[in-house]
Chain A
Amino acid sequence: MSTSSAIPVRKQSLRTRVTAETAFLLTAGAILGLTGLAKISTAFGSAKLLATVDPIFGIRFRDLMQAVGLAELAVAGVCVFTKARRLATILVASLATGFLIYRLGLSWLQWTKPCGCLGNLTDALHISPHVANIILMSVLTYLLFASYLLLAISALKQRSRTA
């Protein structure tokens, strides 16, 4: 009896984790897909900022936005269209970490201009760069904490299973 009562509890826990993971990956995929598309569409525009050189990588913002936009779309594709949940979570965590370090780096180099991560989307949505920056920081925080939390839970689960 004791064995049979333990099985439903384990199943319930697993279902909750999978549901949260799925929800996170779907939202992360949507966010990254949107920002990736915004970046790529902006990269083909004629904004003055695109011709300037990125202070960290030393390449033009146009090239950087194209590269990062493609990377975001690729990760969004993994999040939404594949069943490799662990891989998708790791990719999101890695990308979000990269964004965080990049922003900290910009701050370290005293780059004061607003980040053009949303590109032309800010104009289309009629939101100011300041508001866009707050939204992006919130999104970044969400992606970062949620992905690391899921990875940590997954690691703890695996450790408890091996123990």
Chain B
Amino acid sequence: MMRKAYNRRDWLNKGQLPPAAAVIMYKVALLIFACSLKLAADSGTDAAVAYEAFVASPPIVEELLFEDEPMDSDHVIATFGPDRPAFYLARWQPDAFTLLSLRGTNHNKGESVSRASGRVGTFFWSYNEERGLNIYTRTDDSLIYERSNGVVHTHLADLQLVSWIMNLGVPAQEIGSIRWYEHRFKRTNSLGSLWEGELLFSSNGLPAEILFTVKDPQTGQTFHNKTRLGYGESGTLPSSIRYYTDFGPRRGGWHLMKSFRIHALRTNKAALPEEAFLYSSLNLVNTNTVLYSNDARFLLSRGMALPINVLAAHTRRELLLKRTGVIVLLALAMAVPWLLWRLTSRQKPPSTS
């Protein structure tokens, strides 16, 4: 007893724990470490599940504020990036969409909107602060004229831009069209290219890269692209998207093509009202409105029906011929006064006899 008492006192004197307590503490530490590893793995799995679920079946997006960056955070210039940062505010739900091109991140005022487009069902609209509003309602009869419909084309171009973000870094695919199978997808997009993608994860289990192989059925060529995903401090969904294309070892390997940064993403469980996708709520500056009629052959502008002069675009040959014709005619016509002068001045002077 004396010895045990002495030994205990000795440990205490030395500032150490008894061996049994040390073993218990060691086991607790191991348990905590294992739990943290498990939690990290679970959170990684959760992030992967959340990522794939978002891409495959996106929620209703009430606000998506993103930036098209001229260069990434490492100051690498994006080949297809804008000259200066371009800010966009998107809103999406099945069959309804809006995209505003903003001058900055402040999007509360109509003056900050330089360009916009939207769609609710069969109603399309596009806005440009210089030209005003264009409005179009699709009907069964008007579908065949949509190849030359600027409102629809603006909408499709904007939708394609937003699909890049809504698909969280997967480009050229319709929103919500990707189906994952063991972190891979394979599909042919609307342009006929076969896209294959593989999702790669970082050490903490977050989706970090998507490797793409794109096959062009017409040329038979295969291209390799990839998207790198970056995350904020507490985000499970990526906050930065960088898209690269492999140009091969002779041309410098991977080149940054586009760089996006997601500033805000707010989703909603309930469907948004139609008004949320209309221009009327935006307080736009230029309210000059051109209404495309249902058969797209007449413009209703300020209460007047104006026929659209639908003409095929000039071919290069036609344009060259016309330009040459105009220049020759111009030269000849400008010479007419000189010819008149020469003709009149060559008259023989009257005889003095």
Contacts and interface: CB of A to CB of B under 8 A. Distances in A.
Interface in B122-143: none
Interface of B is mostly: helix
Interface stretch (B16-24, B79-87, B332-340): B332-340
Contacts of A109: 314, 319, 322-323, 326
B327 A151 contact: no
Given A98-B334, A162-B348, A151 B340 contact: yes
A20 to B, nearest CB: 17
B344 A154 contact: yes
A107 to B, nearest CB: 10
Interface string B311-353: 1001000010011001101100111111011011101111000
Contacts, number: 73
A136 B323 CA distance: 23
Given A105-B329, A108-B322, A97 B344 contact: no
A96 to B, nearest CB: 9
B127 to A, nearest CB: 19
Contact of B330 (A58, A93, A98): A98
A149 interface: no
Given A158-B344, A159-B344, A97 B336 contact: yes
A162 B350 CA distance: 5
A81 interface: no
A56 B338 contact: no
Contacts of B338: 90, 94
Contacts of A110: 311, 314
A115 interface: no
Interface of A is mostly: helix
A98 B347 CA distance: 27
A93 B322 contact: no
Given A108-B322, A110-B311, A155 B330 contact: no
A162 B326 contact: no
A91 to B, nearest CB: 8
A94 B340 contact: no
A98 B340 contact: no
A86 B341 contact: yes
A154 B347 CA distance: 13
Contacts of B327: 56-57
A11 interface: no
A94 B330 CA distance: 10
7 contacts: A55-B323, A56-B327, A94-B334, A94-B338, A101-B330, A105-B326, A109-B326
Given A55-B323, A57-B323, A100-B333, 18 more contacts: A90-B341, A91-B337, A93-B336, A94-B334, A94-B337, A95-B334, A97-B336, A98-B330, A101-B329, A101-B330, A105-B330, A108-B326, A110-B311, A148-B337, A151-B337, A159-B344, A159-B347, A162-B348
* Interface pairs A-B: 3 shortest CB-CB: A105-B326, A93-B337, A155-B344
